[in-house]
Amino acid sequence: MRVLDRYIGTSVLLSIFITLVILVVLVGFVTLMDELGSVGKGDYTTADVFYYVLLILPRRAYEVFPMAVLLGSLVGLGGLANNSELVAMRAAGVSLARIIVSVLKAGILAMLVVLVIGEAIAPNTEQYAERMRASKMSQQITLKSKHGFWARDGGSFVNIRQILPGSQLRDIYIYEFSQERELQVSTHADFAQYQEGRWLLRGISQTRFLTDGVESRSLDEATWDSLLNPNILNVVVVRPTMLPVWGLYQYIDFMHANGQEATIYEVAFWSKVIMPLITLVMVFLAVPFVFGVLRSVGIGQRIFAGSLLGLAFFLLNKVLGHMAVVYSLNPLFAAAVPGLLFLGIGFWFVRRVH
């Protein structure tokens, strides 16, 4: 049975890998063509476009992974079916359930891959890619560190500790320097809101460094004209696609503690939690299809059928996610329904095959 597991698993995993590479290349090419239209904005060059697309490919791979698993499993098992190897296995006394177990073992390895991509690789590479792109286009020097977001704003340096959705900032430090690089003014604001093309600061404490001393003052509010705008800062706002599961959990807790709506992050959280199980569902779904309605068809028809199923899953997942945000549906329900539906379809086909 170990030989059987290894043989079926190798066939399925190799097909999944090849399918994933093809899908990522196609998606990357479309992204590249779209991104080339931004060349020339600021310091954004063609080389930067290629670098940017390369960095966001892990997230694209994570997004298309369920479809790649389904297509790859259909192709891998289909190849075994075309060579009558699955028939030989059944004739030798190997049950359908045992073949499903062998396929699911391969699915567990695929599940580990999607975990590594979604939790360790994609969040880091995409955050770096978005910061690089925004810095090149705005011609500003920006940095995201453990002490917050740093940016150069003309002759000033700005440190923002918290960037929140809705064009809001908290805990802002502004350091203004002279042409001789001497610190002239240090300003701290508790809160900032972007309104009508400028920032409105609140809870301000300011220190001026004069030649003969230091002068301090406090203000309830004041306007701040800055080159920084929400479009630039949005690249470091906590976005669901850029966070691992634990980061999403912490941010949801933070938003609840501050009385803010967190549905979009909750949907992203449960989608990421369920994604490894979706991988197993897709692998499981391929087995009854190959033994049933797709048993005697060619590879092209299997790819077509798998593409339709994968596209249906992708669209259903997106629609329910948006409905959860708009109509306040339960985030766990919205994230789980597509997977449960496809799991039910798989069990229904297994019963028909039996």
Tokens for 299, please give them: 């590879």
CA 86/CA 73 separation, integer angstroms: 14
256-308 tens-digit pLDDT: 876 777 888 898 899 999 999 999 999 998 888 887 665 666 667 777 877 88
CA 265/CA 335 separation, integer angstroms: 12
Tokens for 86, please give them: 């699955």
In the prediction, which pLDDT does 188 show? Answer: 94
Beta strands in the chain (DSSP E): 142-145, 148-153, 156-164, 168-177, 183-195, 198-210, 213-224
* Res. 253: pLDDT tops 90: no
Residue 47 pLDDT level (bands cut at 50, 70, 90)? very high
Scanning the structure block, which residue is given the tokens 């009508």?
196
With beta carbons less than 8 A apart as the criterion, state whether 283 and 12 touch.
yes
Residue 353 pLDDT level (bands cut at 50, 70, 90)? low
With beta carbons less than 8 A apart as the criterion, state whether 54 and 46 touch.
no
Which of the two residues, 351 and 260, has the higher pLDDT score? 351
In the prediction, which pLDDT does 33 show? Answer: 94
In the prediction, which pLDDT does 294 show? Answer: 56
In the prediction, which pLDDT does 296 show? Answer: 61
Tokens for 142, please give them: 């920006």
79-135 tens-digit pLDDT: 888 888 887 888 888 888 888 889 999 999 999 998 999 888 988 888 788 778 877
Helices (H) and strands (E) in the chain, counts: 10, 7
CA 127/CA 43 separation, integer angstroms: 19
Average pLDDT, the chain: 84
In the prediction, which pLDDT does 112 show? Answer: 92
DSSP 100-145: HHHHHHHHHHHHHHHHHIIIIIHHHHHHHHHHHHHHHHHT--EEEE
* Res. 139: pLDDT tops 70: no
* Res. 200: pLDDT tops 60: yes
CA 298/CA 42 separation, integer angstroms: 51
From 41-50, 74-83, 109-118, the region with the lowest mean pLDDT: 74-83
Q: What is the pTM of this model?
A: 0.74
Considering only CA atoms, which of 18, 77, 98 is closest in space to residue 291? 77
Max mean pLDDT among 57-71, 88-102, 148-162 falls in 57-71
Q: Where are the alpha helices (DSSP H) in 187-244?
A: 230-233
In the prediction, which pLDDT does 141 show? Answer: 47
In the prediction, which pLDDT does 61 show? Answer: 93
Scanning the structure block, which residue is given the tokens 């880091």?
124
CA 250/CA 198 separation, integer angstroms: 31
